[in-house]
Amino acid sequence: MTIGSKLLGKRVLVTGSGTGIGREIALEFARQGADVVVHYAHEDKGARLAVEEIRAMGRRCEAFRADFNRVEEAVQLGGQAVEFLGGIDCLVNNSGISFNQPFLEVTPEQFDCLYHVNVRAQYFLTQRIARDMLTHGGGAVCNIASIHGLSGAPEHSVYAATKGAIIAGTRSLAVELAHKGIRVNAIAPGWVTVENYFKAIPGFDEGEARKTAAEKIPLGRSGEKNEIAQLAMFLCSEDAAFIIGQTIVADGGTTALMSLISDFRNPSNAKFGSGYVPGV
């Protein structure tokens, strides 16, 4: 853990910050000097522990509940954060839900649920916070997307579509707000093991997961929560002042790897180009 001052005095709202990547982002922002509003949707235990940890650093912090299935609660969360901190300088839109289902079995209710939580609530919360940012000179927004928005995976058509929407929305919103002093960027994380893995995958085993990651990810391992948190901190700091509308991929090389290549660790036996490329 490194204590710094990259965000000293900044006022931050991190959604979905009771667990996982969001919680680590909230803690990292506090370590860098920010006051933080933590958000949770249902279970408040993790959020309350995060609040205690952040307050122990000498920063202001409070947790508020909002169900992002209800857009009015997301907008209300924005108002509570602004009131508690006196304004918001950085918004990290981390809250989101994942879902896998064969395409032919997806129901309208499931489709709507993912879009309400992952896209609609985020959109109107950002609108609420941007209005506040404009009253005090601007700010920074960091959206947490996913490599699912860039690459295809079976049974993830709805989830991937919501993350693709976040990536596209990030670009458009960034060019609309940049000249007004609000910077908007996104992060597309790859495989980062969080609590939900243990709930969603029967018999999930970290040892087996490490072995799989070593075989499938060019870097040889999955990501760490603090690596995403530090990237979010960078994008919201003045160090990233010239970065506008970008989605930064942090995936250990997952999306850079062409899936047709069976083993990226050993030289290929194939000889494409033979007969028409010199030296082959």
pLDDT score at 37: 98
pLDDT score at 205: 86
The runs of H, that is alpha helices, within 95-156 are: 108-115, 121-135
Q: What is the arithmetic mean of pLDDT over 236-260?
A: 95
pLDDT score at 1: 59
Which positions ≥6 away from 71 have C-beta within 8 Å?
116, 120, 121, 124
- Structural domains in the chain plus CATH codes: 11-250 (3.40.50.720)
> Which two three-digit tokens encode residue 252?
């250990």
Least trusted range by pLDDT, from 77-81, 155-159, 201-205: 201-205
pLDDT score at 11: 98
In this structure, are residues 73 and 117 in contact, taking their beta carbons and an 8 Å threshold?
no
Give me the residue label for tokens 């007969």: 275
**Residue 142 reports pLDDT greater than 60:** yes
Strands 247-250 and 90-93: unpaired
Q: Backbone dihedral region of 222: left (phi > 0), alpha (psi from -120 to 50 degrees) or beta?
A: beta
Q: What is the arithmetic mean of pLDDT over 197-210?
A: 84
> Which two three-digit tokens encode residue 167?
């990536």
pLDDT score at 276: 60
- Tens-place pLDDT, residues 177-191: 999 999 999 999 999
pLDDT score at 194: 84
Instruction: Give the full edge-to-edge strand order of the sheet including 11-14.
Output: 61-65, 35-40, 11-14, 90-93, 139-144, 182-189, 247-250
Q: What is the arithmetic mean of pLDDT over 105-117?
A: 95
**Residue 272 reports pLDDT greater than 60:** no
**Residue 277 reports pLDDT greater than 60:** no
Q: How confident is the model at residue 75 (pLDDT cuts 50, 70, 90)?
A: very high
pLDDT score at 264: 65
Least trusted range by pLDDT, from 56-70, 102-116, 140-154, 254-268: 254-268
Share of the chain above pLDDT 70, in %: 93
Q: What is the arithmetic mean of pLDDT over 222-227?
A: 97
Distance spanning both ends of the chain, measured CA to CA: 50
As a whole number of angstroms, the distance between CA 16 and CA 66 comes to: 9
**Residue 279 reports pLDDT greater than 80:** no
More confident site: 272 or 176: 176
Partner residues linked to 249 by β-bridges: 188
**Residue 270 reports pLDDT greater than 70:** no
Share of the chain above pLDDT 90, in %: 81
E-strand ranges in 198-270 read 247-250
pLDDT score at 195: 79
Q: How confident is the model at residue 35 (pLDDT cuts 50, 70, 90)?
A: very high
Mean pLDDT for all residues in the chain: 93
**Residue 13 reports pLDDT greater than 90:** yes
